[in-house]
């Protein structure tokens, strides 16, 4: 049984996140998929900007080696919107949650 406090926190997060990410979050919070939990955590950490997940350079994150696409491609996705490219060019690398 889920406590009232946990139910309230889950409801708050669901209300604040983009609809696109809600199914993954719900699957993760029910404990049905570790993969979904990783995706949900990384998406939330990076402000639901999936391209930022791919650009993440937070080597101190305990999930870094397991994050989505970490083993697929060590480089950033090729097609970033111009606005996001300029924002990222000011930094040495993205540090999502930092």
* Per-residue model confidence (pLDDT) at position 80: 47
- Mean pLDDT of the residues in the chain: 78
What is the pLDDT confidence band of residue 85, given thresholds at 50, 70 and 90?
A: very low
Give the residue extent of every domain in the chain: 4-89
pLDDT in tens, 43-79: 999 999 988 988 888 889 998 888 766 555 454 445 4
Q: In terms of Cα–Cα distance, which of 94, 86, 87, 84 is closest to 58?
A: 94
pLDDT in tens, 20-30: 999 999 999 99
* Rounded distance between C-alpha atoms, residue 67 and residue 13, angstroms: 21
Is the pLDDT confidence value at 15 over 50? yes
CA–CA–CA angle 2, 49, 67 (5° rounding): 65
- Extract the tokens encoding 82: 């111009």
* Contact (Cβ atoms closer than 8 angstroms) between residue 49 and residue 17: no
Is the pLDDT confidence value at 91 over 60? no
* Per-residue model confidence (pLDDT) at position 77: 47
């Amino acid at each position: 049984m889920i406590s009232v406090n946990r139910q309230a926190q889950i409801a708050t997060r669901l209300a604040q996140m983009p609809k696109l990410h809600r199914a993954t979050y719900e699957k993760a919070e029910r404990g049905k998929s570790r993969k979904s939990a990783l995706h949900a955590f990384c998406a939330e950490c990076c402000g639901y900007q999936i391209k930022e997940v791919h650009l993440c350079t937070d080597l101190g994150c305990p999930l870094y080696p397991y994050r989505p696409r970490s083993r697929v491609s060590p480089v950033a996705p090729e097609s970033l919107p111009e606005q996001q490219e300029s924002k990222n060019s000011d930094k040495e690398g993205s540090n999502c949650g930092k």
